[in-house]
Amino acid sequence: MIFAANFKTNHTRSSTKLYLDALSQKIAAKKSEDQVYIFPPATALDHYKGDFTLGAQNAYPTQNGAFTGEIGLDQLEEFDIKTILIGHSERRELMGESQEKVAEKFDFFKAQGFEIIYCIGEPLEVREQGDESVNIYLLEQFEGIDTAYEKLIIAYEPIWAIGTGRSATMEEIVSTHKALRKAVACPLLYGGSANPDNIKEIAAIENVDGVLVGSASLDAEKFASMILS
């Protein structure tokens, strides 16, 4: 299983260090095949030691340059970062990233050999139209994306379930991941209010290879309990 923690705009460098020190101790007994990814905010990127992979929530597709407020390869290379989230719904919705821009980022970081967790998801109005509409909407988010890239992980996050405390039903997760599996062979993560209470049920679903966790990952003890469940 893959357990990925997206801190979003939470934690500082000092609190991230304390978090990772605590998490490393708690997950020492995890299954050897389980993988843990941590995505802190850019200001908390640093050299940390532990049985986890550190990644960037976002970066601009450039080595460096005149891109105010962004970070590029120079900043990521300083901390040996080779993993990145691309396409998260909050970047698409709040930051206005188009599919064209998302695909541009994907191509750039693919060329740099990054491991990419690529996020897709649908809004509530699409979900209410039924499975067929959901599947069409999700597959459109693969436009310009090399789904055969060997370092690709896909995270399915129903937008209406992110940070709301409402997870998709097990039936919705089953049907959506089954449809995605027909389209791609890479690992598939579920995101959208995954937490210690529902992790066992979600992890048992066929075609779910892990979870991308938001608010439930902010506490090291809670996240560790999910990993060790």
> 191 a known binding residue?
no
> 32 a known binding residue?
no
Q: Which two tokens stand for residue 49?
A: 């030691």
> 210 a known binding residue?
no
DSSP for residue 16: H
SS3 for 46?
coil
Amino acid letter at 50? G
Distance of CA 218 to the CA centre of its chain: 14
> 217 a known binding residue?
no
Query: What φ, ψ does residue 118 adopt, rounded to 5°?
Result: -100, 125
CA distance 34 to 22: 18
Catalytic: which of 90, 97, 157, 177? Answer: 157
Amino acid letter at 126? V
Catalytic: which of 88, 90, 97, 177? Answer: 88
Is 88 known to be catalytic? yes
> 6 a known binding residue?
yes
The answer to whether residues 211 and 189 touch, using CB atoms and an 8 Å cutoff, is yes
Is 104 known to be catalytic? no
**Binding site residues, as ranges?**
6-8, 163, 193
Catalytic (active-site) positions: 88, 157
